[in-house]
């Protein structure tokens, strides 16, 4: 599990379009910046951050399996 650095995320986000979904950009950021590949680690990191947890709740992602399905759906 990592602690999300929101200042670094803001810098990372500058390389993406303004219309890009913040949650998808955040997922890409976590995978690349923190070099995480494990959906369990990604989920735990999101769940333990107040803002990221709100993003999970908005998308009704309540567990690792749902996040994995969401990731698969976005990249297929």
The pLDDT, as a whole number, for residue 17 is 80
Tell me: the pLDDT tens digits for 2-55?
999 999 999 999 988 877 889 999 999 999 999 998 999 999 999 999 999 999
pTM for the structure as a whole: 0.88
3-class state of residue 39 by DSSP: helix
Tell me: the pLDDT tens digits for 53-71?
999 999 999 999 999 999 8
Closest of 56, 47, 48 to residue 23, by C-alpha: 56
3-class state of residue 53 by DSSP: helix
CA dihedral 61, 46, 16, 7 (to 10 degrees): 150
Placement of tokens 């976005």 in the chain: 74
Give me 64's structure tokens. Answer: 């690792």
């Amino acid at each position: 599990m990592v602690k999300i650095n929101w200042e670094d995320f803001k810098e990372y986000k500058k390389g993406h379009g303004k219309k890009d979904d913040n949650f998808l950009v955040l997922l890409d950021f976590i995978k690349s910046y923190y070099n995480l590949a494990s959906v369990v680690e990604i989920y735990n990191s999101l769940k333990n951050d107040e803002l990221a947890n709100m993003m999970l709740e908005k998308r009704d992602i309540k567990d690792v399996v749902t996040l994995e399905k969401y990731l698969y759906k976005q990249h297929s």
